[in-house]
A = this chain, B = another copy of it.
Amino acid sequence: MQPTLNDVAREAGVSSITVSRYFNSPDSVREATRLKVEAAIEKVGYVRNLIAGSLASATSRVIPVIVPSLSNVVFIDVIKGLQDEFEAHGYQMLLGKTDYDLARETQLIRTFLGWSAAGLVVTGLRHDAATRQILEHWNQPIVEIMELGEGLDLNVGMDHVAAGRTMTEHLLARGYRDIHFAGAELDRDYRAAMRYTGHREALAAAGIEEAPLLDLPVRQQMTSGAQALERIRDQHLECDAIHFANDDMACGAILAASRLGIRIPDDIAIAGFNGLPIGEHVTPQLTTIISPREQIGRVAARKLLARIQGEPVGELSHDLGFTLRVGGST
């Protein structure tokens, strides 16, 4: 079958452990030996058996990443950031998706830990009891990403309540008073619900007690943004601004507005969240909050790798902040 370390060792006239050292601590083999080993590897066409190595050393260079969905750009960007860093450091990413199901998350984690993973990246701070129990007994580094708070180990993200608050404060400062919040499936997307909480806080601070909410049960985001705009225009003539849970919906609304002859921001102002490229290309440009998606991935990966390599990681919880980008839509 496949050649093994022993085949290489025989070919090179050394012992198998020397070949192993060639791979794992190259500095500890002499130049002359290194060359013999390299020639032997080339000759027999050796490919390392990472499985055997991982079993013997009880560690692997695999890092599972668990996200709720792959349909949401947000997670894609985070994955990109993670992937870049992991790949650059010779770690491999094992990708799992929960579909927002905490039981599925437990199951995935259980399977992944069976790979003697070097660490774990998991989305969010909310887990069920079983997950929590497994992870508390697991003594490898863990990063929980996206939001901030008391976590299992490391934590990298941003403050969604503050983001919602910031946007609504901006809308209030612009003079809008009857502001609706529109999202889709907020029960699943609880980080969007956190932004709604911030939205409510800002309104309350301005003496406005009502915080009308439209929560659509639709997946396709741009379409649901268009729907939300129409719905609110029909049923709430007094509404002067819509604070959308994300840019997809907000851009869907802006594009629908131009079809429907609704003037933005004169008839109604539109705000989003995420800072996707499309927001800069619609007319008027979308006012949004730029979330540090890819950076969350990068920083999470770096902190995890630092922890794995026994280096200092700094603060356990890392707030990457956000930026308000004001466009013509508000």
Contacts and interface: CB of A to CB of B under 8 A. Distances in A.
Contacts of A50: 111, 114-115
A49 interface: yes
A282 B281 CA distance: 11
Interface stretch (A87-95, A159-167, A173-181, A206-214): A87-95
Given A51-B60, A70-B80, A259 B277 contact: no
Contact of A54 (B47, B51, B92): B51
Contacts of A259: 283
A258 B80 CA distance: 32
Interface of A: 45, 47-52, 54-55, 60, 62, 70-71, 76, 79-80, 83-84, 87, 92-97, 110-116, 134, 137, 220, 222-223, 226, 251-252, 255-256, 258-259, 277-278, 281-283
A116 B51 CA distance: 7
29 contacts: A45-B137, A47-B110, A49-B114, A51-B54, A51-B115, A62-B94, A70-B76, A70-B79, A70-B80, A71-B80, A79-B95, A83-B97, A87-B96, A87-B97, A92-B94, A92-B95, A92-B96, A92-B111, A92-B115, A93-B94, A93-B95, A94-B95, A95-B95, A220-B277, A223-B281, A251-B281, A255-B283, A258-B258, A259-B283
Contact of A83 (B70, B80, B277): B70
Given A45-B137, A92-B95, 8 more contacts: A48-B111, A51-B116, A55-B55, A62-B94, A76-B76, A92-B96, A94-B94, A94-B95
Contacts of A277: 220, 222-223
Most buried by B among A48, A49, A51, A256: A51
A292 B147 CA distance: 34
Contacts of A278: 222, 251, 278
Nearest to A81: B70
A223 to B, nearest CB: 8
Given A83-B70, A93-B95, A47 B113 contact: yes
Contacts of A113: 47
A87 to B, nearest CB: 6
Contacts of A93: 94-95
Contacts of A282: 255
A258 B54 CA distance: 58
A282 to B, nearest CB: 6
A148 to B, nearest CB: 25
A237 B52 CA distance: 65
A72 to B, nearest CB: 10
A282 B222 CA distance: 11
